[in-house]
Amino acid sequence: MLEKIQKALTIRSGTIRELLAEALGMFILMVFGLSSVAQVVLGRGDFGQHLSINLGFGIGVTLGIHAAGGISGAHLNAAITLTHCLLGNLPWRKLPAYLIGQFLGSFTAAATVFGLYYDALYDYTKGNFTVTGPTATASIFSTYPAPYVSLLGAFFTEFMATVMLLLGILIIHDEKNNGALKGMQALLTGILVLGIGLGMGMNTGYAINPSRDLPPRVFTAIAGWGMDVFTAGHHWWWVPLTAPVLGSLAGVLIHKLFIDFHNQPVLESGNEKGQPVVETSTL
């Protein structure tokens, strides 16, 4: 009986399976990340600090990769998916499925955290959900630049943070050079995201991922924060969409010019071992 149920529920389409894997991986990543932000903000510093947020996203990335890695490669990041398409590692026909899966997972996670902390949100804001001001809460869900940062400076921050993300991912998976031990890639990618947050999180909140930023922003526009989520920070919303894509491409180019083109194939049992299929991730 159980076998029949399992067979009936098994999805035959590989593309749909990848969509669902990206959705679940993204959901796990974002629930851990956004809930850690909510706890720090709504707890007024009594239930965590900036480190808590970085750890939350790092843990979420690690678990999200473990959840989706074997099925979709666990991109969990629209910039990474687009880069794979541009490099020919992923067919363009699969791009919509990956992006839809990431959007659904991220949007659903934002709605989940909103429901989880609704009472705390209402108590903190007295029912007035704002993007700016002393009781602003929109930043729980999406990133916004610090008041002192220029738009150019914020763009450069997101660009460089994503460069470091892609360099780190490629280094972790580079078996022709000094790749991570098998099974350690997810953990090391989570630590990589933690490091980016610790070192480059102050200016913009390190979106480094269009799929992390846009879906929750859309949710907040619907859930009570209004269109201010798109106009705040000198119309900041477009920067987390474009800077990570450019940073991702730059990170790949730097790795190829400085490392990959000079790598020597590793001999294993008399055969050359080529570049492995990369299970990439994140934010």
Return all residues near 76 (Cβ < 8 A) that are at least 6 apart.
Answer: 22, 25, 26, 29, 61, 64, 65, 68, 102, 209, 211, 281, 282, 283
pLDDT number for residue 64: 98
Return all residues near 247 (Cβ < 8 A) that are at least 6 apart.
Answer: 79, 158, 159, 160, 161, 162, 163, 165, 166, 208
3-state SS track over 212-264: HHHHHHHHHHHHHHCCHHHHHHHHHHHHHHHHHHHHHHHHHHHHHHHCHHHCC
Within 10 angstroms of residue 248's Cβ, the number of other Cβ atoms is 27
Domains of the chain: 12-263 (1.20.1080.10)
CA–CA gap between residue 252 and residue 172 (Å, rounded): 13
Within 10 angstroms of residue 270's Cβ, the number of other Cβ atoms is 5
pLDDT number for residue 14: 81
pLDDT number for residue 274: 40
Within 10 angstroms of residue 66's Cβ, the number of other Cβ atoms is 18
Q: Tens of pLDDT along the chain (283 residues)?
A: 777 676 766 777 789 999 999 999 999 999 999 999 999 999 998 999 999 999 999 999 999 999 999 999 999 999 999 999 999 999 999 999 999 999 999 999 999 999 999 999 999 999 999 999 999 999 999 999 999 999 999 999 999 999 999 999 999 999 888 888 889 999 999 999 999 999 999 999 999 999 999 999 999 999 999 999 999 999 999 999 999 999 999 999 999 999 999 887 655 544 443 443 444 554 5
Backbone angles phi and psi of 128, in degrees to 5: -105, 95
pLDDT number for residue 43: 95
Residue 248 near residue 255, CB atoms below 8 Å: no
Residue type present at position 42: L
Return all residues near 17 (Cβ < 8 A) that are at least 6 apart.
Answer: 11, 71, 72
